[in-house]
Structure 1
Amino acid sequence: MTDMFAVERRLSELDHVRLSRLVHRHKGGRRTSPTTGPIEQLLGAAEVLSWPELPPDVVTMRSRVLLQDLQTGLTSRWTLSFPGDAESGANRVSVLSPLGFSLLGQRAGATVRWSTPAGDTLAAVVLDILFQPESSGDYAM
């Protein structure tokens, strides 16, 4: 993950607070996740913006995105979720998963890469942000 922050990522203030609490709970509860360390690094490195400053093409928590797999060309829709809300059958991906982490803070048009449990690297383009809570005025989600 040496290239993790090669592209500047943006977070909403609310996402920053919620993700900081999530990381704190994981550390306090002595639970571990392969993504907790990178999330902590992202929280320290990302540009944190208030909701009026946040561009509508940034993937935030609970955003719905349209991805195109670079290998197959197939498209899929995903919602970036907190771990308790994630459900693969409903295409809700946890921010602590490799795909979820790769999406957080990216912009439409970005290429995201993540590793599978088998060690393969997958890549997709964020074709569109279908829904972003902040740009829809939904700050309580």
Structure 2
Amino acid sequence: MHKNLDGERLLTEIDHARLNKLSGAPLPPELIETLDALETVPSRDIPPDVVTMYSQVLVEDLETHQRQKLTLCYPADAEPHLGFISVLSPVGASLLGQRVGAIARWRTPNGDTCATDIVALLFQPEASGDYTT
């Protein structure tokens, strides 16, 4: 049994297993840190306000206040120009396991710090009954 603290970042067991089995290049440090910090729960127990793989989120840049719809995905499905953001990217790693209302923070490759408010979770596979995607 797991404890669920308010504000805690969570990850489904399936997402955890799949992320740890990604082939190719080593996982980026941001994602390794994120995976180490997240508590793993069964897919059926994930709250509907937590960003999981293939969740679609509405985010608002804290600096520009510009809103954007993003879908968190695996590298093979990434199409940043269409809003499909790889979990291997700094943005993707910062979104994983966050809750609506949280601030996701990351560094760009050139070292700039970015932050975005997670305004809404537009779609989460588990909330719609899909526990295997």
Q: TM-score, normalised by structure 1?
A: 0.83
> In the TM superposition, what is the alpha-carbon distance from 1:57 to its structure 2 partner?
0.3
Match of 2:92 among 88, 95, 100: 100
Paired with 1:38 and 1:116, the residues of 2 have a C-alpha distance of: 11
Decide which of 80, 103, 117 is 2:109's aligned counterpart.
117
Identical-residue share of aligned pairs (%): 49
Matches within 5 A, 1:71-90: 71-90=63-82
Tell me if structure 2 keeps the 8 A contact 1:20–1:40. no
Show the counterpart of 2:50.
58
Partner AA of 1:9 in structure 2? R
Secondary structure at the aligned position of 1:128 is classed as strand
Structure 2 residue 122 is the aligned partner of structure 1 residue 134:
no
Q: What's 2:4 paired with? A: none
Change in CA separation of 1:81 and 1:127 when aligned onto 2, cut-off 3 Å: same
The SS at the match of 1:39 is helix
Partner of 1:4: none
CA RMSD of superposed structures (Å): 1.5
What is the total number of aligned residue pairs between the two structures? 127
Aligned-pair CA distance for 1:46: 1.5
Alpha-carbon distance change, 42 to 74 in structure 1, aligned in 2, over 3 angstroms: closer
Unpaired segments ≥5 residues, structure 2:
1-6
Q: Any stretches of 5+ residues in structure 1 without a counterpart?
A: 1-6
The alpha-carbon deviation at position 110 of structure 1 amounts to 0.3
